[in-house]
Each structure stands twice: as C-alpha cells, then as structure tokens.
Amino acid sequence: ETGVTQTPRHLVMGMTNKKSLKCEQHLGHNAMYWYKQSAKKPLELMFVYNFKEQTENNSVPSRFSPECPNSSHLFLHLHTLQPEDSALYLCASSQPPASQGGTDTQYFGPGTRLTVL
C-alpha cells in the first residue's frame, strides 16, 4: 500500500529462537530504517542504512542484527530476545537528503508484530 512491504506481519518466538524480519521497498530510495514501536511510547529509531552502509545504530542491543544487502532490502535478524522486546517493528525508507530528489520524508511499511514468549 505504501511501497514498503514487510514480512512476516506477525511473529511469535521463544527466547532461544532465531528469526529474521524482512523489509522491501519499491520506491527507488537509498535509505532504509528500522524502528521499534512499543505501546504508549514514541517510535524509537534503531538503525539507519544509506546506500547499503549502516550509518546509525541507536545503542541497540546486539541481539538485534541488521543486514542490508542492497538498497531495496533490509533485514533484522533476531536471536535470544527478551519478552520486553515484544513490539511492532517498522521499516521505513527515504531518499537521502543529500542525493538527487532527496527529502526528509520517511515512508513506512505495515510493520511486523513481534511477540517474545
């Protein structure tokens, strides 16, 4: 619906599991983001990638491991998560401000609802 897709939409995992979240953007953007949205809290920026390179890690625990193989795809690998990591994980993309057609506007995917048991 917004040009940014995320899979899976829902995920339930145990604390010892390893899983991955996938994001794909069809907007031709070169920047991609991971956010965490918890109940009654503002969106928290986790990671930023520009042209496949990580440019921001907002003090995220190492149990979250991002991967950006190309400008259209972004993954978030999860392992040994805690129940407090249960949240909606949102991916976003934008065209970096310094590039042609760049803007500060970020476009979001539908999110993955993660529950850690």
Partner 1 sequence: GESVGLHLPTLSVQEGDNSIINCAYSNSASDYFIWYKQESGKGPQFIIDIRSNMDKRQGQRVTVLLNKTVKHLSLQIAATQPGDSAVYFCAEKAGFQKLVFGTGTRLLVSP
- Where do contacts with partner 1 occur on this chain (CB under 8 A)? 1-2, 4, 6, 31, 33, 40-43, 45, 48, 50, 55-56, 90, 94, 96-97, 104-111
Neighbours of 71 (CB within 10 A): 17
CB 27 within 8 A of CB 105: no
CB of 48 or CB of 78, closer to partner 1: 48
Could you give the CA distance from residue 50 to residue 52 in angstroms, rounded to a whole number? Answer: 5
CB of 11 or CB of 50, closer to partner 1: 50
**Cβ of residue 53: shortest distance to partner 1, in angstroms?**
13
Which amino acid, residue 37?
Answer: Q
CB of 18 or CB of 58, closer to partner 1: 58
CB of 91 or CB of 116, closer to partner 1: 91
**Cβ of residue 90: shortest distance to partner 1, in angstroms?**
5
**Cβ of residue 111: shortest distance to partner 1, in angstroms?**
5
